[in-house]
């Protein structure tokens, strides 16, 4: 197993723990960056399956759209047998009725889906439905962990 990560800028205890945990399980860590296309291509050439776990939950972060660069790298590498993009929440194809600002991440994910399908990359979408504990705990106020303290 190979894990791609960006260069560590600061000492993050949680990130260091995750990396060392992956290493103990036999993973090979490969440094790369979405701002360095060739590093993506080089990392993708090492594997058969790409699973993207990039966060895109914060409204208007547009992190999810960065996966378009990964789709291009997979196309260029030409060796990937399966791509699992960062979805993991709900089937965005069924969210056409969503309202702003919550609609933005769904639209971004649909752009990524279209690029994957247009590139004929074998894919699997993992849709686990939204978790009530995630949304109810903050009353759907994205970016917060608990509900508003304002009346």
Catalytic residues: 109
Beta strands, E only, 1-151: 2-5, 28-31, 49-51, 82-84
DSSP designation for 72: H
Beta-ladder partners of 4: 30
DSSP, collapsed to helix, strand or coil, labels residue 103 as helix
Contact 42, 74 (CB under 8 A): no
Closest CA to 41 of 82, 10, 80: 80
In angstroms, rounded to a whole number, what is the distance separating the alpha carbons of residues 4 and 66? 14
Task: Please identify which residue in the block is written with the tokens 């056409």.
Answer: 96
């Amino acid at each position: 197993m190979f894990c791609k990560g960006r260069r560590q800028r600061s000492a993050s205890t949680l990130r260091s723990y995750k990396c060392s945990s992956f290493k103990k399980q036999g993973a090979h860590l490969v440094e790369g960056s979405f701002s360095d296309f060739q590093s993506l291509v080089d990392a993708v050439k090492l594997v058969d399956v790409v699973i993207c776990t990039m966060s895109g939950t914060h409204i208007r972060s547009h992190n999810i759209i960065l996966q378009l660069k990964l789709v291009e790298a997979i196309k260029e590498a030409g060796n990937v047998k399966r791509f699992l993009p960062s979805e993991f929440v709900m089937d965005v194809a069924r969210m056409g009725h969503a309202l702003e600002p919550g609609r933005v991440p769904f639209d971004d994910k649909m752009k990524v889906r279209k690029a994957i399908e247009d590139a004929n990359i074998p894919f699997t979408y993992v849709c686990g439905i939204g978790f009530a504990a995630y949304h109810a705990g903050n009353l759907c106020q994205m970016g917060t962990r608990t509900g508003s303290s304002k009346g």
